[in-house]
Amino acid sequence: MGESHPRVAASLLAGLRQVLGEARGPIALHEPEFRGNEWNYVKDCIDSGWVSSVGKYVDQFERRLEEITGSPHAVAIVNGTAALHVAIEIAGVMPGDEVLVPALTFVGTANAVAHAGAIPHFVDSDAATLGLDPRALDAHLAAVAERSAGGLRNAKTGRRISAVVPMHAFGHPVDLDGLMEVALRYDLAIVEDAAESLGSTYHGRHTGTFGRVGVLSFNGNKVVTTGGGGAIVTGDPALARLAKHLTTTAKRPHRWEFVHDAVAYNFRLPNINAALGCAQLEELPDMLARKRVLAERYRQAFENVPGLHFVGEPEGTRSNYWLNAVRLDTPSLERRDVLLAAANDAGYHCRPAWTLLHKLPMYRDAPRAPLDVAEVLEASLVNLPSSAKLADARAEGIEAVRARLTAPQ
Ligand SMILES: *Cc1c(COP(=O)(O)O)cnc(C)c1O
């Protein structure tokens, strides 16, 4: 039966204390951090009046993203979900198609499929990467799909299956070689949900650059933030132009005429958000370095702890360790919640992984593969406080000492 709940909860708390110290106030799961040029660049937008749909920071932000990811083209978008929605459309998914997505992901992945008029078709995860399992996908397609003149079809629903959306959970890259092989064989477009994996690489290449299109998010809880924001990255110049066109109301360039040539979106990233993003990207290398230090401390703290183990980056990859996680050796939603209650009561904001998407009311009837591994992961993953600043143990120590010295006696 494994270790008892209270013993495992005590081990979790001991590990958290070892890495983070005693929680004097609540320690958040992930907090934004502004200690570079954020204020200068945002102030520049306000002082110059360029806060909205036009301005130099959007271009700068896109060029920096291209440098960081190695992707030839980046298009800044108002948030990650909107970026994913447009990415799915431009990848060739038609309304009424099915799109393969992991059941274990943030709801935005499936919502973007639905916004594009398509139907999410849930598939299982790989325990080693936490992301979509290519072997399980292959076995599932062999069982349910048939090839037809119009492409791959779900034999049960008759609908076309046109794309697959892997998601790099908590920053850990999925098995991209395996996935690309399966996608090629079944003629599926890959749209990478790299919302959580800015800075994560697979065999040295940045996540988000393997599929036809990839998507990043700069929401407030991600590695770096624009307040709200996202981006599409692609190697295809025509798709990049289409992404820009569709997300900026499909307006034909003209000095004064309002001619729009498609029912499009107002999904552009405002200049003031891009300004914040430019400053944040300057801090990214330092942020990633400190997140690795924190992850290493957690790894050591949970080494040889009965009942728990730390989730490390998959072989051949470099994770950004967006969210650190431990797994319970004995999966159980009840046991997991005992741990979550103990950690949160002690001031450490720990969180479960997402509720599997096929259990949500709007996706209850969506097609799905057997989800055995995803069920186990749902019942065993616990995310730990992961802000980069939590690695500044010495700085935190200084702050605490200073606070004590200046506190009224
Ligand atoms: C954050 C996130 C998104 C969506 O990004 P937003 O910018 O919040 O819209 C999509 N997918 C995953 C997996 C995410 O974690």
- pLDDT tens per residue, range 240-254: 999 999 999 999 999
387 lines ligand 1 (CB under 6 A): no
Query: Do 356 and 123 form a contact (C-beta atoms < 8 A)?
Result: no
Q: Does domain 38-282 have CATH number 3.40.640.10?
A: yes
The C-alpha atoms of residue 40 and residue 272 are separated, in whole angstroms, by: 11
* Cα of 217 from ligand 1 centre, angstroms: 6
Any idea what DSSP says for residue 263?
S
Surface-to-core class of residue 13, CB atoms within 10 Å of its CB (0-12 exposed, 13-18 middle, 19+ buried): middle
Region 5-32+284-406: CATH code: 3.90.1150.10
Average pLDDT of the segment spanning 263-286: 97
pLDDT at residue 398, rounded to an integer? 46
- pLDDT tens per residue, range 160-201: 999 999 999 999 999 999 999 999 999 999 999 999 999 999
Average pLDDT of the segment spanning 81-103: 98
- The larger pLDDT score, comparing residue 75 to residue 4, is at 75
Average pLDDT of the segment spanning 359-383: 98
- The larger pLDDT score, comparing residue 400 to residue 376, is at 376
Pocket test for ligand 1, best of 125, 168, 193, 383 (most atoms within 8 A of CB): 193
Average pLDDT of the segment spanning 6-34: 95
- pLDDT tens per residue, range 124-164: 999 999 999 999 999 999 999 999 988 999 999 999 999 99
What does pLDDT average to over the chain?
94
What is the pTM (predicted TM-score) of this model?
0.94
Query: Would you list the domain boundaries of the chain?
Result: 5-32+284-406, 38-282
* Cα of 202 from ligand 1 centre, angstroms: 20
Does the pLDDT of residue 107 top 90, yes or no?
yes
* Cα of 143 from ligand 1 centre, angstroms: 31
Pocket test for ligand 1, best of 196, 215, 216, 247 (most atoms within 8 A of CB): 196
Which percentage of the chain shows pLDDT scores above 90?
91
Closest Cα to atom 14, ligand 1: which residue?
195
The C-alpha atoms of residue 97 and residue 195 are separated, in whole angstroms, by: 23
Closest Cα to atom 13, ligand 1: which residue?
106
Average pLDDT of the segment spanning 211-237: 98
* Residue 238 host element (H or E): helix 237-247
Average pLDDT of the segment spanning 197-220: 98
Does the pLDDT of residue 328 top 90, yes or no?
yes
* Cα of 195 from ligand 1 centre, angstroms: 5
3-state secondary structure of 153: strand
The C-alpha atoms of residue 278 and residue 55 are separated, in whole angstroms, by: 13
> What is the tally of helices (H) and strands (E) in the chain?
12, 16
User: Left (φ > 0), alpha (ψ -120 to 50) or beta: where does 55 sit?
Assistant: left
Nearest atom, ligand 1, residue 222 CA: 1
Query: In which band, very low, low, confident or very high, does the pLDDT at 2 lie, cut at 50, 70 and 90?
Result: low
